[in-house]
Amino acid sequence: MSTGFNWFKSYKITIHRATKMWDWDEHKIEYIGGGSTSHSGHNISVVQDLIEKYSGKRIPTIEEDFISSEDENLHLINPKEMSEICERILSGNEVNETDLRSRIQWFKTLSDEGYYLSYDYM
């Protein structure tokens, strides 16, 4: 099973509130200036554990339906800070044991280029 991974420069949240019977609330997040792919759940878990070990943070997992306002704080990690976290991870040997060095290097490159990172909620 895989989960969406996003990198982006900015985002826009749009919420359509139900106004009549049989209508429903619709929440949408648009990632601007980036891309997306998917990663396996196991690798996400290993990467998230490494990031948390070296920073106390995790790449946010975002579910559109759980967003309650258009200015909601998504708890994104600033790209500069994410780059520093990746550098700390890459300077150790633990990342070699996970066989995910290239993933962390890619995250560092994205962060160096000013991208925010997030995962989709499964």
Distance CA 48, CA 46 (A): 6
Residue 75 amino acid letter: H
- Asked whether the predicted pLDDT for residue 122 surpasses 70, the reply is no
Q: Using a cut of 0.85, tell me whether the model's pTM lies above it.
A: yes
Number of helices (H) and strands (E) in the chain: give both, helices first.
4, 6
> What kind and span of H or E run contains 120?
strand 116-120
Position 96, amino acid:
N
* Sequence-separated contacts (24+) of 26-29 with Cβ below 8 Å: 27/64, 27/65, 27/66, 27/67, 28/64, 29/62, 29/64, 29/67
Q: Label residue 23 by pLDDT band (50, 70, 90).
A: low
Q: What is the pLDDT of residues 37-54, one digit of tens each?
A: 988 888 999 999 999 999
